[in-house]
Chain A
Amino acid sequence: MKGWQQYWRQFSLFALLALVLTGCGKDELSALKPSGPVAAMQFDLMKLSSAIMIGVFIVVMTIFTYVLIRYRKRPGQQGIPKQVEGNHALEILWTVIPFLLLIIMAIPTVTTGFALHKEYPKEEAVQVKVTAHQFWWEFEYPDLGVATAQDLVLPVGKKIQFVLSASDVKHAFWIPALGGKIDTNPGQENKMWLQADKAGIYYGKCAELCGASHALMDFKVEVMEQADFDTWVANMKGVQAKEPVTATSPLAAEGQQIFDKSCLGCHAVAGKGGKMGPNLTNFADRERVAGIKAHTPENIAEWLKDPQKIKPGNKMPNLNLDDTQVKALVEYMETLSVSEKK
């Protein structure tokens, strides 16, 4: 092991320590707790560059502190300090050293850069088409024939090839713990790949100002074992092939009627319905309501009564439902599940 590598180790340790002291954030969210190869590569680059930079900072601060203490004007000091024009050797030194440091950073920058931009065909990666809308996310799996919204479901340990776009304004797709980030441009397609190495829930965000509820444009990533993922796909497909789930109780049946009348124009359930709003086929399995609120009947009811209150500026109108209608709808929506677990 070469000497300078030792130093990096120490600096990154130091940097890490500083981070630990301030807390690294939440596992599901923080870019400092990578849970997949992309985030890990990015984290390595962060550590390398911050280590080099902290090294530079220490040098600057040492000289700075020394100069300020040593050369402050003392009372009664006489004479005029020597007027130094410059010093070629020194000036060359502090041109060349930063240059070398930059080269050290440039090499992994280039290699990682190209690695992250690789595109994986469908034999090697699950293809997911992401469309961002004000203020929700649509996910389609063209090769698997399923679609969902708000909750992105992924198998563990496999490469995921994303193709991303937006239907209205520009947004940006960001899952810090898995890797960041790419813009979704209306009228264009961008590509990015990610991979999750641990099953669990991760938080995703919209990172580009996209209107009033930009801050609330969160989504959840549910990473599951391959077998569970396959079951999920099969269930989704099964449901999407048939008619919507038949209601399980009279109240739910009432809810379904209201839903078919007032909601199906925008929201798809199973194979049927509009694409203006999020696909609700697996709504009952979702982590969150509207991407942000805990999945409770109260929160669903609150959303139905006044969507603008929860996400200002979103495109769902207030349907002026009364309490009994809301109750029936909630009951029905809680039956929209594809997993046996719930």
Chain B
Amino acid sequence: MSAHASHAPNRSGLWDYLTTVDHKKIAILYLIAGGIFFLAGGLEALLIRLQLMYPEIEFVGAKTFNELITMHGTTMIFLAVMPIIFALMNAIVPLQIGARDVAFPFVNALGFWLFFFGGVLLNTSWFLGGAPDAGWTSYTTLALNQYSGRGVDFYVLGLQIAGLGTLIGGINFLVTIINMRAPGMTFMRMPMFTWASFITSGLILFAFPAITVGLVLLMFDRLFGGNFFNPDAGGNVVIWEHLFWIFGHPEVYILILPAFGIISEVVSTFSRKRLFGYSSMVFATALIGFLGFMVWAHHMFTTGLGAIANTLFGLATMLIAVPTGIKIFNWLLTMWGGQIRFPTANLFAVGFIPTFTIGGMTGVMLAVPPADYQYHDSYFVVAHFHYVIVGGLVFGLFSGLYYWWPKMFGKMLNETIGKWNFWTFFIGFHLTFFPQHFLGLMGMPRRVFTYLKDQNLDMGNFISTIGAFGMTIGTILFLINVVVAAKSSKRAPADPWDGRSLEWAIPSPPPEYNFVQTPLVRGLDALWVEKMAGNKGMTPAEPIGDIHMPSPSFLPFLMSLGLFVAGYGFIYHNYVVVVIGVLATFACMFTRSVKDDPGYHIHEDELEEKGVKA
């Protein structure tokens, strides 16, 4: 065998996707898996809201309700929006920095499969005797054996496996963005979405180890009687809260920063203006990331940390309002003086601004500890965090999907359906969550499966449930739109929106090697700079030549499958199964280490368009 095989392996269909290491296909995998989990989480939300439509009704009952809220929260955060963010990062970041690939394509695939199998493991709990029911925060002692069933074991192992995937995914993006930028793409010329992905990946690197440690301790408590969190045996219940929130608070910024990045791209493109205050945007993003680590205890104001700790954490939390405010005003000023168009992508971006502002405002209100003693664990908080994660993040993701869909799949999403999608979702959203602010202040605690008749809570809850139907319709319209786009035979142009950054310089969908020739970047908004200079495309930074590609591999799938199997072994205390699963994973790692796999080359004369087939 020569050192380099010279032909691209011919693989197709399912097998292709099971073995791919191409970041664009991995993006599609993330999108499909995240989409499915999003639907599951949405269905759970709808059932929750139906149970709360009227006071004192029996619809799903107390135990199932607790399983529903737990799985809804866990699924939405870890298994729905995280992967959709990773989908967009995978699809777009390498293109935006002019790279042929991510730094570690194999690891990228491994990250996806770990996430996927972790998520599947968690969700099988529904069919294997009951889902976790201690809330997505799984506070001890409720989450210990004495008080909750096997469901929490699924939570512990599912999240551990999925979290590993997220962690290595984040590391991959850090390295990619540091090392793989095209010539001329300095840090201060990177598009905002890439910047946001970069900082988000940094947060992942520091935040996920905290939850990993927490989950290991909880696993020891549950499986081996570790007593870390059991007060009857000298354990401490508050430590879990700290570990959880040292991860959990940055997690919120891991989620929202990419959305900020998307909004920056979309608002600027559809105003036909460069982003106002680019460098202050970068600075604000980094500052939010940093402060995000300093404020976790604001989730614990009522835990009893004392006046000094509460006050300091409260004031630190308020500070985040300053960089966030900078961002809002910069977006407004980006639109100022522009020529604003309103395709669906921009409708979601524009709808994001007031909605997220409200979420930010209630966030500052929550940062006042003495007032938080009233808000905490009430529906006010439910309203607040949905304004941030749905009004901010999900709006941002919809915006990004409408914006980049043509680039990812080579098909345009339908604008008429898109507008219906936006309006039903937007109105449904506010109807659902606005009344919840008042429900909370009027004395409704969160995570309650019912409320009593004589407490004036009926009206708000009823409106809220009606709104949830609006959001459901919006989501269904999006699915219809996807089907319509897939069926249409019209191909999307390379640059449908008059874009500004590098991803619009190559065909839609991009060929597997992305750029035939690595582009030379000559300023912020690299493609726009060339357009203004009257050039048809990017100036290449290298001559045309053979392109080296990594070979596909089935190992990431098998490695993750091994851990998946080991997970069940732990849950059912069957250590033979654990050993088999872990050995399978190690065997794959060993194979990967000793097998020489130099990849292959695409020859110069083969360089026609090789799009990803969606």
Kindly state the separation between the CA atoms of A245 and B560 in the bound complex, as whole angstroms: 67
Q: Interface stretch among A27-35, A256-264, A267-275, A317-325?
A: A27-35
> A295 CB to closest chain B CB, in angstroms?
14
> B264 CB to closest chain A CB, in angstroms?
13
Known interface pairs A24-B442, A117-B306, A169-B147. Does A186 touch B141 (Cβ–Cβ under 8 Å)?
yes
Kindly state the separation between the CA atoms of A54 and B360 in the bound complex, as whole angstroms: 11
B319 at the A interface (CB under 8 A): yes
A312 at the B interface (CB under 8 A): yes
- Is A45 a contact of B337 with CB atoms below 8 Å? no
Contact partners of A185 in chain B: CB under 8 A: 231, 237-238, 303-304
Kindly state the separation between the CA atoms of A213 and B142 in the bound complex, as whole angstroms: 13
Contact partners of B337 in chain A: CB under 8 A: 71, 81-82, 84
> B276 CB to closest chain A CB, in angstroms?
6
Nearest opposing residue in chain B for A173, CB measure: B302
A64 at the B interface (CB under 8 A): yes
B336 at the A interface (CB under 8 A): yes
Known interface pairs A23-B456, A94-B326. Does A183 touch B302 (Cβ–Cβ under 8 Å)?
yes
23 contacts between A and B (CB under 8 A): A22-B435, A26-B454, A42-B370, A49-B368, A53-B361, A54-B361, A56-B325, A60-B357, A61-B354, A68-B340, A81-B337, A91-B277, A91-B330, A95-B325, A105-B364, A113-B310, A186-B141, A188-B231, A207-B302, A207-B446, A208-B139, A214-B448, A215-B62
Q: Which of A29, A67, A105, A212 contacts B62 (CB 8 A)?
A: A212
**Please, what's the 1-or-0 string for A69-100, where 1 marks a CB less than 8 Å from any CB in chain B?**
00111100100111111110011001100110
Known interface pairs A71-B339, A85-B274, A94-B329. Does A31 touch B63 (Cβ–Cβ under 8 Å)?
no
- Is B336 a contact of A67 with CB atoms below 8 Å? yes
A112 at the B interface (CB under 8 A): yes
Contact partners of A98 in chain B: CB under 8 A: 321-322, 325
> A16 CB to closest chain B CB, in angstroms?
12
> B354 CB to closest chain A CB, in angstroms?
6
- Is B62 a contact of A180 with CB atoms below 8 Å? no
Contact partners of B319 in chain A: CB under 8 A: 102
Q: Interface stretch among B28-36, B191-199, B374-382?
A: B374-382
What is the count of residue pairs linking A and B with beta-carbon distances less than 8 angstroms?
A: 294
B371 at the A interface (CB under 8 A): yes
Q: Identify the interface centre among B133, B330, B340, B443: most chain A CB within 10 Å of its CB.
A: B443
Contact partners of B303 in chain A: CB under 8 A: 183, 185, 190
B611 at the A interface (CB under 8 A): no
Contact partners of A1 in chain B: CB under 8 A: none
Contact partners of A125 in chain B: CB under 8 A: none
- Is A116 a contact of B238 with CB atoms below 8 Å? no
- Is A32 a contact of B236 with CB atoms below 8 Å? no
Residues of B228-278 whose CB lies within 8 A of A: 231-232, 235-238, 271-274, 276-278
B353 at the A interface (CB under 8 A): yes
B369 at the A interface (CB under 8 A): yes
B134 at the A interface (CB under 8 A): yes
Kindly state the separation between the CA atoms of A84 and B238 in the bound complex, as whole angstroms: 50
18 further contact pairs, Cβ within 8 A, besides A81-B339, A209-B139, A292-B452: A23-B442, A26-B442, A26-B443, A29-B442, A29-B456, A31-B374, A31-B442, A46-B365, A83-B273, A85-B276, A86-B279, A86-B330, A91-B326, A94-B329, A116-B373, A187-B237, A212-B63, A215-B447
> A23 CB to closest chain B CB, in angstroms?
6
Residues of A170-210 whose CB lies within 8 A of B: 170, 172, 174, 176-177, 179-183, 185-188, 190-191, 203, 205-210
Nearest opposing residue in chain A for B61, CB measure: A312
> B588 CB to closest chain A CB, in angstroms?
39
Contact partners of B342 in chain A: CB under 8 A: 72
Residues of B342-377 whose CB lies within 8 A of A: 342, 350, 353-354, 357-358, 361-362, 364-365, 368-371, 373-377
A211 at the B interface (CB under 8 A): yes
Contact partners of B350 in chain A: CB under 8 A: 68
Known interface pairs A30-B441, A31-B441, A84-B274. Does A95 touch B322 (Cβ–Cβ under 8 Å)?
yes
Kindly state the separation between the CA atoms of A87 and B274 in the bound complex, as whole angstroms: 13
Residues of A214-231 whose CB lies within 8 A of B: 214-216, 218
Kindly state the separation between the CA atoms of A112 and B372 in the bound complex, as whole angstroms: 12
- Is B377 a contact of A179 with CB atoms below 8 Å? no
Known interface pairs A83-B274, A170-B142. Does A215 touch B451 (Cβ–Cβ under 8 Å)?
yes
- Is B61 a contact of A211 with CB atoms below 8 Å? no
A235 at the B interface (CB under 8 A): no
- Is B141 a contact of A109 with CB atoms below 8 Å? no
Nearest opposing residue in chain A for B361, CB measure: A53
Q: Which of A68, A86, A205, A208 contacts B278 (CB 8 A)?
A: A86
- Is B378 a contact of A207 with CB atoms below 8 Å? yes
Nearest opposing residue in chain B for A182, CB measure: B302
B-side interface size class: 35 or more
B445 at the A interface (CB under 8 A): yes
Kindly state the separation between the CA atoms of A210 and B454 in the bound complex, as whole angstroms: 23
Q: Which 3 A-B pairs have the closest CB atoms?
A: A187-B231, A25-B442, A215-B448
> A294 CB to closest chain B CB, in angstroms?
9
Kindly state the separation between the CA atoms of A68 and B424 in the bound complex, as whole angstroms: 20
Q: Which of A41, A106, A114, A188 contacts B307 (CB 8 A)?
A: A114
> B490 CB to closest chain A CB, in angstroms?
23
Kindly state the separation between the CA atoms of A205 and B341 in the bound complex, as whole angstroms: 50
Known interface pairs A26-B456, A86-B279. Does A109 touch B374 (Cβ–Cβ under 8 Å)?
no
B205 at the A interface (CB under 8 A): no
B519 at the A interface (CB under 8 A): no
Contact partners of A188 in chain B: CB under 8 A: 231, 237-238, 304
A285 at the B interface (CB under 8 A): no
Contact partners of B133 in chain A: CB under 8 A: 212
> A263 CB to closest chain B CB, in angstroms?
25
A57 at the B interface (CB under 8 A): yes
Residues of B289-341 whose CB lies within 8 A of A: 302-304, 306-307, 310-311, 314-315, 318-319, 321-322, 325-326, 328-330, 332-333, 335-341
Q: Identify the interface centre among A73, A102, A113, A177: most chain B CB within 10 Å of its CB.
A: A113
Contact partners of A80 in chain B: CB under 8 A: 272, 532
- Is B371 a contact of A45 with CB atoms below 8 Å? yes
> A110 CB to closest chain B CB, in angstroms?
6
Kindly state the separation between the CA atoms of A298 and B465 in the bound complex, as whole angstroms: 33
Q: Which of A49, A57, A106, A212 contacts B371 (CB 8 A)?
A: A49
Known interface pairs A117-B307, A181-B377. Does A212 touch B66 (Cβ–Cβ under 8 Å)?
yes
- Is A60 a contact of B332 with CB atoms below 8 Å? yes
A266 at the B interface (CB under 8 A): no
A254 at the B interface (CB under 8 A): no
Q: Which of A179, A186, A216 contacts B374 (CB 8 A)?
A: A179
A339 at the B interface (CB under 8 A): no
- Is B353 a contact of A64 with CB atoms below 8 Å? yes
Q: Which of A170, A205, A292, A312 contacts B141 (CB 8 A)?
A: A170
Q: Which of A29, A87, A113 contacts B455 (CB 8 A)?
A: A29
Residues of A296-322 whose CB lies within 8 A of B: 312-313
> A163 CB to closest chain B CB, in angstroms?
11
- Is B237 a contact of A109 with CB atoms below 8 Å? no
- Is A64 a contact of B354 with CB atoms below 8 Å? yes
Kindly state the separation between the CA atoms of A168 and B139 in the bound complex, as whole angstroms: 13
- Is A169 a contact of B141 with CB atoms below 8 Å? yes
**Please, what's the 1-or-0 string for A117-129, where 1 marks a CB less than 8 Å from any CB in chain B?**
1000000000000
- Is B447 a contact of A109 with CB atoms below 8 Å? no
B406 at the A interface (CB under 8 A): no
Contact partners of A180 in chain B: CB under 8 A: 302, 373-376
Nearest opposing residue in chain A for B528, CB measure: A83
B544 at the A interface (CB under 8 A): no
Kindly state the separation between the CA atoms of A304 and B588 in the bound complex, as whole angstroms: 60
> B545 CB to closest chain A CB, in angstroms?
35
- Is A176 a contact of B374 with CB atoms below 8 Å? yes
Residues of A10-59 whose CB lies within 8 A of B: 19, 22-26, 29-32, 39, 41-42, 45-46, 49-50, 53-54, 56-57
- Is B135 a contact of A113 with CB atoms below 8 Å? no
Contact partners of B142 in chain A: CB under 8 A: 169-170, 209-211
Known interface pairs A49-B364, A56-B361, A109-B368. Does A71 touch B336 (Cβ–Cβ under 8 Å)?
yes
